[in-house]
Amino acid sequence: MSYIFLLRTSEWFWWLNNLICRSRRGKDQKETPVTRRGASVSHTAQTKVVPPEQNLCVCDSIDDQMIERFSQIPGGVDTNEWLATHTLALFDHVNALCGSISELCTPVTCPAMSFPGTSKAIFVDERGKRHTYTAPQYIDCVMSFCEQNSKNEDFFPTRYGSTFSGDFQGHCRRVIRLLWQCCGHLYTNHWDQMGVLDLRPQCAMVLAHMSQISKIFGLLEPKDQQLVNNTVQLIRPAYVPVMPLSTRSPSTLPLGAEPPRYSRVPSSKSGSWGGHPTTQVLSAKPYAQTC
């Protein structure tokens, strides 16, 4: 009798305990409903799309006065040596610019070599033979000619005690004229594509450098020199000189005003230049020289 009573009592406790546990589980499920878990902080940081940063080119911070300063012949340096250094540098830069659009300049898109002042140029080789080439063929002939002559000891001597030939400057005149034609073709036929590639400031800088060297040594004909100058004015931003503080009357200056500096003004709203780095940006971010 006592055994049956204990058995029934234990069954009753087991049933009561089971009922309490089920009620607790139901209560917990109601109080903590299942919600959709959000992404973790690390996952969100990895998948967050960061807008591309505007790249500022160092070429835009170089004004005409600086170009004149590094183009002038320093004292004690041979004139031909200085001309050879700048001519080879211009060839390297123009070669790099033309190579950047080599896949876009094709016989279909550019059946003739054109640049400011000329709609169809004719290439004259070293023998004096005239060739009507497409633009890519013309540029390839120019680069091959410049590459071969840059390694020629008769034109660009590198050995100690060697001297420049008598017609060295005449040779440089032809090289600069051909390089100008290649840069002019980039401006007339591929300027939009140069803008997409963010290479307009570099091309404008090379043309400004070429124009200054040509002025110093008289490398281009007056007609070609004027075309180069006009092109540089179109694609290079203008610098507006601000009157120094000492030359202004006190009545025209606000109280506590600081001496103003030169400011860069874009030539057009379309952004034919890549912007200019401010003083804060230049002090906070390193820049690599591109030209």
Q: Nearest-CA neighbor of 290 among 92, 87, 104, 72? A: 92
Reported as type and span, the H/E element at residue 191 is helix 191-196
Quote the strand ranges of 193-280, DSSP E: 238-240, 263-265
Given a contact cutoff of 8 angstroms between Cβ atoms, the answer to whether 201 and 274 are in contact is yes
- Rounded Cα distance, 225 and 291, in Å: 22
Binding residues for Zn(2+): 105, 110, 185, 190
* CA 178 to each of CA 94, 108, 155, 181: distance values in angstroms, whole numbers, following the listed order: 10, 22, 17, 5
Given a contact cutoff of 8 angstroms between Cβ atoms, the answer to whether 257 and 237 are in contact is no
CB atoms closer than 10 angstroms to residue 124 = 12
Given a contact cutoff of 8 angstroms between Cβ atoms, the answer to whether 240 and 263 are in contact is yes
Reported as type and span, the H/E element at residue 161 is none
CA torsion sign for 159, 163, 169, 171 is negative
Binding residues: 105, 110, 185, 190
- Rounded Cα distance, 121 and 254, in Å: 57
- Rounded Cα distance, 267 and 245, in Å: 26
